[in-house]
Homo-oligomer: A and B are copies of this chain.
Amino acid sequence: MMKKYTIKDIAQLAGVSKGTIDRVIHNRGNVAKDVEDKVKQLLADIDYQPNLIARNLKNNRIYQIGALLPDPKKDAYWEVCSDGIQQALSEFSAFDIRLNTFLFDPTDTKSFMEHHELLLDSAPDMILMVPLFYKEAKTVLEHYKALNIQVCTFNNQIDASIASFIGQDLYQSGRVAAKLMHSIIDKGDMAIIHIDEKYKNAVHMQEKEKGFKSYFDDLDGFTDDILKCKIRYTETEDKLRDFLKDHPNLTGIFVTNSKAFHVARLLESENKGHIKLVGYDLLSENVHYLKDGVIDFLIHQNPRQQAYLGLKFLIENLVFEKDIPGKHLLPIDIINSENVTPFLRA
């Protein structure tokens, strides 16, 4: 194993002082060209890696990170995010990281903008956010970009060029759902049901639908129908009941967001347990029906891990100057009644 070189070592080897080495490393000028070249060569030769610990020792400023997140009280989907955030904070408790969280109402764009203003007032060094509303988020992100504030977004992607993103490949997750459905039904009609939460951008669910259909398009000799049903959140039950009545041949339903439990509730009360059901997310109501056998599979989007990674990327960039990936896709977890438990733990 090689020795670990320090600036002191380099200085000795080059026959100059530590200060000169530092100037070269940080391109701070005031170094003679020949010396600079010599030192740079030396640094490259021995693959010098600065000691990040010592670097942060001096750099004792308090980092401020702002978080703009949906209020879990309005939608249980977001509850686990705070676990992920706590984990990241505790992992980096050795550093002085301050997190200011601003929770907006996920049904209200105005709330989003208001809390964005508050966040901005808190003068954050970096920002973690869920850019739930396309138009507003885009504006806000451009604002941050102009201010040169690094942002990590998760859950849904706005624009690859404007901020780092952590999430899932939604098209592919639609394909995963399709493969699961194909595994568990032999014949009969399938339905894709969008239960529109109104506030969430439809792009989300459309991507999943596209992926779902593409799987069956790729199959040879597949002729069964794929029905489609769009339901507004407020009228879920009636519309669903009508839809089921209209399509007695239905054998499989794919719900493109976390609201599968609405469908499950109805299937159970109408004794239509033979209809297979695939949905998203480990909300406690979904998990309940999964364990009961009404829901067959759930796809786990892991918002907890998304929030954790986002914050971790930001912190590692602050304290270690690590690069933040422009896009980080999480694996698509398939959940059934038997493997669900360990995914629920905090």
Which of A's residues lie within 8 Å of B, judged by CB?
1, 4, 49, 51-54, 56-57, 62, 93-96, 98, 169, 172-173, 175-176, 178-180, 183-184, 215, 296-297, 320, 329-339, 341-343
A216 to chain B, nearest CB (A): 12
* Given known contacts A1-B98, A4-B96, A184-B184, A176 and B338 CB-to-CB distance under 8 angstroms: yes
Q: How far is the CA of A183 from the CA of B179 in the complex (A)?
A: 13
Is B329 touching A176 in the complex (CB atoms < 8 A)? no
Q: How far is the CA of A341 from the CA of B330 in the complex (A)?
A: 11
Could you say which residues of chain B place their CB within 8 Å of the CB of A173? Answer: 339
Could you say which residues of chain B place their CB within 8 Å of the CB of A62? Answer: 4
Could you say which residues of chain B place their CB within 8 Å of the CB of A1? Answer: 98
* Residue from A51, A62, A333, A339 having most chain B Cβ neighbours under 10 A: A339
Q: How far is the CA of A334 from the CA of B95 in the complex (A)?
A: 37
Residue of B nearest to A52 (CB): B94
Q: Specify the main secondary structure of chain A where it touches its partner.
A: mixed
The copy count of this chain in the complex is: 2
Q: How far is the CA of A237 from the CA of B184 in the complex (A)?
A: 29
For the complex of A and B, list the 4 residue pairs with the smallest distance between their C-beta atoms, beginning with the closest: A334-B334, A331-B342, A332-B339, A176-B338
Q: How far is the CA of A49 from the CA of B96 in the complex (A)?
A: 11
A211 to chain B, nearest CB (A): 9
Could you say which residues of chain B place their CB within 8 Å of the CB of A172? Answer: 338-339, 341
Q: How far is the CA of A181 from the CA of B234 in the complex (A)?
A: 37
Is B335 touching A339 in the complex (CB atoms < 8 A)? no
Q: How far is the CA of A4 from the CA of B175 in the complex (A)?
A: 49
Could you say which residues of chain B place their CB within 8 Å of the CB of A96? Answer: 4
Contact of A175 among B215, B329, B338 (CB under 8 A): B338
Is A334 touching B331 in the complex (CB atoms < 8 A)? no
Is A93 touching B342 in the complex (CB atoms < 8 A)? no
Contact of A338 among B179, B338, B343 (CB under 8 A): B179
Is B332 touching A334 in the complex (CB atoms < 8 A)? no
A246 to chain B, nearest CB (A): 27
Is A336 touching B180 in the complex (CB atoms < 8 A)? yes
Further pairs besides A172-B338, A179-B337, A332-B339: 20, Cβ < 8 Å: A4-B62, A53-B54, A53-B56, A53-B57, A94-B320, A172-B339, A173-B339, A175-B338, A176-B336, A180-B336, A183-B184, A183-B336, A215-B338, A329-B342, A330-B342, A331-B333, A331-B339, A333-B339, A334-B335, A334-B336
